Structure 1
């Protein structure tokens, strides 16, 4: 699963040809959250409060790029890297 961004110990990843709805995986230590790109709702799992806030702030700022990467992955193409939080 390609890592498309990493910041503050949080990894953002996407699978090729993954199931709907459009989503990404956020990993922090032993925690994982699966996040709906369209709503930024948590589909499954969770992160500690501070990591969750940082991840959601990042996702809000990069939602269009996340959807573009989702489309690339759906076509079995490599997603593009997305800038981390500053």
Structure 2
């Protein structure tokens, strides 16, 4: 598991090396495990407070190209 971003002291965006399609990252911390799509930059599975989702999706959108490259390296 690779943490790509930490914010608000307890939340993390993680790319899990042993995962499954479609390309996604996990928003974890504070009891959350939300799947965020790397293709559409939206929530795939799970719920979190709206401001946390907004911040996470903004970061994913800003780093989408690199995250997709990382995904492709893990899952050729």
TM-score exceeds 0.5: yes
What are structure 1's unaligned runs of at least 5 residues? 76-86
Segments ≥4 residues shifted beyond 3 Å: none
Tell me the number of residue pairs that the alignment of Structure 1 and Structure 2 aligns.
Answer: 75
Provide the secondary structure at the position in 1 that maps to 2:27: strand
Counterpart for residue 16 of structure 1: 17
Q: Residues of 2 paired with 1:40 and 1:62: CA distance?
A: 10
Higher relative contact order (CA 8 A, sep 6+): 1
Q: Residues of 2 paired with 1:73 and 1:6: CA distance?
A: 21
Q: Residues of 1 paired with 2:73 and 2:11: CA distance?
A: 22
Provide the secondary structure at the position in 2 that maps to 1:65: helix
What are structure 2's unaligned runs of at least 5 residues? none
Counterpart for residue 42 of structure 2: 41
Normalising by structure 2, we get a TM-score of 0.86
Report the RMSD for the aligned CA atoms in angstroms: 1.4
